[in-house]
Amino acid sequence: MPSASSTSVVSPPGQPCRPEAMRIWYTRCPLPTASSIAIERGMLDDEFRADGIVVQSLNASSDMAVREAHYNHGQTNLFRQGGNIPPIWSRSRGADTVVVATNWIDEYQAIVALPSSGIQNAADLRGKRLGMPRRLNEQIDYWRAMCLRGYLAALEIAGLEPNDVEFVDLPIDEKQIPTGGASQRGTLWRGANRARRQSREALALIRGEIDAIYTAGAPGAQLSSFMGASTVVDLGAHADSGSRVNNQVPTVLTVDGELARSAPETVARYLAALMQAARWAHEHEAETLGIVGGDVGATPEWVTAAYGAEVHDRLALELDERSIAAVAAQKAFLLGNGFIDKDFDAGAWIDPRPLELARGMDHERRLG
């Protein structure tokens, strides 16, 4: 792993060694994030260019060990904004990371079934077969965890227990992060892989091998419409926010712990650039929907259908009590259901100081 500090590189004979530029890595999930806006608009490049700091996506590397840092956070100087399951998993395995911000955007989440199944509500799930994808070649099967959490929330709404239904394993060989390394800024999530995320479940549903599936986000809304599926439980619209908590609600922004300790101002500057991006999104609705759509793989129509008509106003960085409690609840769910083996103090994992510093920095810039 490269060092977080600058190192010397060989210079021509007779010239002093010059330090190698610091390199910041980033990655984001295919979700609405301030990171997507800042990356697409070049705001991170602008923030650090004068200091000679290189900012680039994990997608710039063809090394799968670097690319899969999206899951294990194993790359030095990495910022990651996205779903909360992989960072909780990596932290439980000893990854030196810090949560510096969260963001809560309610999204389309539902248990769906084909109309021919006769399943109309959560109570009708009793005795039914629920599809459970199992990715055989992933470090952390976050989608399986998402599905289970969605199913358990739906069963609880109906007063049912897990043993009232049958969970049907659906093995999947394909990895979600493809090989690559073609883009300095680009996302890891390519169209074909993204589109196939639930193909195994959808085909099993159509073939009658299962009775219902969990789905979420813009891809999920599109998939449900494509299949003509009926909504059995609309989790995304449930009044209890606890029922809406899953991998993508809330998202978390994590950073390499060593970078946070040794260069807090650098971390704050990164966050300040995301704050700028969130403000830009507020003032540029159409452009924001286009950028988000590019990341999630959907047209603006489906972006607003899945994440709300005001999604462009909801990208601000937060670290509120609801989100902090949700992260702790998600950790408890993952531990209780065998997705992580080791417990850790979720409260100690969250550090509000970088966001506080960034807010002060952002305020001064806006005044000046």
Looking at the structure, do residues 174 and 288 belong to the same domain, yes or no? no
In a domain, 363, yes or no: yes
Tokens of 186: 């680009």
Looking at the structure, do residues 240 and 277 belong to the same domain, yes or no? no
In a domain, 1, yes or no: no
Is the pLDDT score of 4 beyond 70?
A: no
Looking at the structure, do residues 327 and 266 belong to the same domain, yes or no? yes
Which of the listed residues 178, 212, 244 is the one where a domain comes to its end?
244
Looking at the structure, do residues 37 and 115 belong to the same domain, yes or no? no
- pLDDT, one tens digit per residue, over 251-260 is 999 999 999 9
Given its phi and psi angles, is residue 181 left (phi above 0), alpha (psi -120 to 50 degrees) or beta? Answer: left
Looking at the structure, do residues 191 and 267 belong to the same domain, yes or no? no
- In the chain, % of residues over pLDDT 90: 87
In a domain, 2, yes or no: no
In a domain, 57, yes or no: yes
DSSP 232: E
Q: How confident is the model at residue 20 (pLDDT cuts 50, 70, 90)?
A: low
E strand spans, the chain: 8-9, 18-19, 23-28, 54-57, 78-82, 97-103, 109-113, 129-135, 166-172, 213-216, 230-234, 251-256
Lowest mean pLDDT among 28-37, 73-82, 154-163, 172-181: 172-181
Which of the listed residues 195, 218, 244 is the one where a domain comes to its end?
244
3-class state of residue 119 by DSSP = coil
| Cβ–Cβ under 8 Å, residues 80 and 253 | yes
Query: How far is the first Cα of the chain from the last one, in angstroms, to the nearest whole number?
Result: 39
Looking at the structure, do residues 196 and 300 belong to the same domain, yes or no? no
**How far apart, in whole angstroms, are the C-alpha atoms of residue 226 and residue 224?**
5
Tokens of 197: 């995320």
- At 194 the pLDDT is 73
Given its phi and psi angles, is residue 217 left (phi above 0), alpha (psi -120 to 50 degrees) or beta? Answer: left
For the chain, helix (H) and strand (E) counts, in that order, are 17, 12
Q: Specify the DSSP element, H or E, that contains 85.
A: helix 85-92
What's the number of domains the chain is made of?
2
Is the pLDDT score of 5 beyond 60?
A: no
- In the chain, % of residues over pLDDT 70: 92
Mean pLDDT of 162-181: 90
- At 1 the pLDDT is 37
**How far apart, in whole angstroms, are the C-alpha atoms of residue 178 and residue 354?**
32
Is the pLDDT score of 368 beyond 90?
A: no
Looking at the structure, do residues 97 and 199 belong to the same domain, yes or no? no
In a domain, 283, yes or no: yes
Looking at the structure, do residues 192 and 131 belong to the same domain, yes or no? yes
What b-and-e string marks burial along 47-71, b requiring 16 or more CB atoms within 10 Å of the CB?
bbeeeebbbbbbbbbeeeebbbbbb
Looking at the structure, do residues 52 and 22 belong to the same domain, yes or no? yes
Looking at the structure, do residues 140 and 238 belong to the same domain, yes or no? yes
- At 190 the pLDDT is 66
- pLDDT, one tens digit per residue, over 319-341 is 999 999 999 999 999 999 999 99
- Find the CATH number of the domain harbouring 293: 3.40.190.10
Mean pLDDT of 299-326: 98
Is the pLDDT score of 344 beyond 70?
A: yes
Tokens of 17: 């060694």
Q: What angle do CA 28, 29, 32 make, to 5 degrees?
A: 95
- At 183 the pLDDT is 62
In a domain, 296, yes or no: yes
- At 316 the pLDDT is 98
In a domain, 91, yes or no: yes
In a domain, 46, yes or no: yes
Task: Give the range of the structural domain holding residue 345, as residue numbers without chain letter.
Answer: 8-104+249-367
| Cβ–Cβ under 8 Å, residues 179 and 142 | no
Which of the listed residues 244, 276, 309 is the one where a domain comes to its end?
244
Looking at the structure, do residues 45 and 87 belong to the same domain, yes or no? yes
Given its phi and psi angles, is residue 347 left (phi above 0), alpha (psi -120 to 50 degrees) or beta? Answer: alpha
Contacts of 312 (CB under 8 A, 6+ apart): 281, 282, 284, 285, 288, 289, 292
- In this prediction the pTM is 0.93
Q: How confident is the model at residue 17 (pLDDT cuts 50, 70, 90)?
A: very low
Q: What angle do CA 18, 20, 23 make, to 5 degrees?
A: 160
- At 182 the pLDDT is 61
- In a 13 Å sphere around the CA of 85, the CA atoms on its Cβ side amount to 24
Residue 348 phi/psi, 5° resolution?
-70, -20
- At 191 the pLDDT is 65
- pLDDT, one tens digit per residue, over 31-61 is 999 999 999 999 999 999 999 999 999 999 9
Lowest mean pLDDT among 98-107, 137-146, 180-189, 190-199: 180-189
Mean pLDDT of 204-213: 98
Is the pLDDT score of 7 beyond 90?
A: no
Contacts of 66 (CB under 8 A, 6+ apart): 25, 58, 75
Looking at the structure, do residues 98 and 145 belong to the same domain, yes or no? no
Is the pLDDT score of 11 beyond 90?
A: no
- Find the CATH number of the domain harbouring 180: 3.40.190.270
